[in-house]
Amino acid sequence: MITVIGIFADPALAEQAADYLLANEFEDENVDRHTYDPTRSGEDRIGGLFNHLYQNQDEAEHYASLAKSGTVITVHAASTREAQEAVDAFNNHGAVNVDANDTRSLLIEKIVVPEFRLRG
Distance in angstroms (rounded) separating the CA atoms of residues 106 and 98: 8
* 14 within domain boundaries: yes
CB of 58 closer than 8 Å to CB of 99: no
What are the φ/ψ torsions at residue 63 (nearest 5 degrees)? -70, -35
* 27 within domain boundaries: yes
Residue 116 above 90 pLDDT?
Answer: no
Task: Tell me the pLDDT tens digit for each residue of 34-59.
Answer: 988 878 765 688 899 999 989 999 98
* 104 within domain boundaries: yes
- Give the structural domain span for 92: 9-116
* 95 within domain boundaries: yes
* 3 within domain boundaries: no
Q: What is the pTM of this model?
A: 0.85
Q: CB count, 10 Å around CB of 12?
A: 11
pLDDT of residue 112: 80
CA-based nearest residue to 44, from 15, 72, 2: 72
Residue 106 above 90 pLDDT?
Answer: no
pLDDT of residue 43: 63
Q: What is the mean pLDDT of the chain?
A: 87
pLDDT band with cut points at 50, 70 and 90 for residue 104: low
**Structural domain count, the chain:** 1
Distance in angstroms (rounded) separating the CA atoms of residues 67 and 50: 9
